[in-house]
Amino acid sequence: MSSIMIAKRLPVALALLRDSPRGNSMMIMFMRYSAMAATGAMVICGLPASGQEKGPSKWSGFCDLDVGPPKPCRISDEMSADGQHDLRFVFAGTAVSFFGRNAGPWWQGELNGRPAMGYERYRGYVVFSTTDLKTTFEWCGKLSAGPQC
């Protein structure tokens, strides 16, 4: 049955329910089921539940600055509605930030406030460099066989 047919028949069905001896209890039950269906649709559509907070994604990985040995680091990424990433890295008393966006494996933005580009070599391994090539930074989710990302 199409939604148009249901919409046309709904007022008739509700009028019949209202006029029947058990109409009030049936109407209440109908309204409860309608409310539950609407709530379920909101959950399925991904609307935030009450008490759910938005914030940065956080995880652990390995970072190195200017081609040093990778050190364990904390990573957070907060993405805005327009696709901008605000990546923060904290490791060995050092804080690094990258603010920008990606297009496939390529990244463009600012590394610690200076113009930078980056390339995601594989999922979870990104290398950034300022455009003047004075600063390089890389992060990865896990180390490879050697002491490198």
- Does 1 have pLDDT greater than 90? no
Higher pLDDT, 144 or 13: 144
- Does 88 have pLDDT greater than 90? yes
In this structure, are 23 and 93 located in the same domain?
Answer: no
- Does 3 have pLDDT greater than 60? no
In this structure, are 79 and 27 located in the same domain?
Answer: no
What pLDDT does residue 91 have?
97
State how many domains the chain has.
2
In this structure, are 34 and 100 located in the same domain?
Answer: no
Q: Are 137 and 96 in contact (CB under 8 A)?
A: yes
- Does 18 have pLDDT greater than 70? no
In this structure, are 134 and 100 located in the same domain?
Answer: yes
Identify the helix (H) or strand (E) that includes residue 83: none
Residue 50 lies in a domain: no
> Binning pLDDT at 50, 70 and 90, where does residue 23 land?
low
In this structure, are 66 and 122 located in the same domain?
Answer: yes
What pLDDT does residue 105 have?
96
Is 107 in a helix, a strand, or coil? Answer: strand
CATH number at residue 93: 2.40.128
Main-chain phi, psi angles of 142, to 5 degrees: -150, 155
Instruction: State the residue range of the domain holding 71.
Output: 57-140
Q: What is the pTM of this model?
A: 0.63
- Does 71 have pLDDT greater than 70? yes
Residue 101 lies in a domain: yes
Helix axes 23-44, 3-19, angle to 10 degrees: 150
In this structure, are 36 and 64 located in the same domain?
Answer: no
In this structure, are 103 and 65 located in the same domain?
Answer: yes
Output DSSP code: residue 23.
Answer: H
- Does 62 have pLDDT greater than 90? yes
In this structure, are 34 and 69 located in the same domain?
Answer: no
- Does 48 have pLDDT greater than 50? no
In this structure, are 84 and 130 located in the same domain?
Answer: yes
Residue 52 lies in a domain: no
In this structure, are 84 and 133 located in the same domain?
Answer: yes
Kindly state the average pLDDT of the residues 14-41. 58
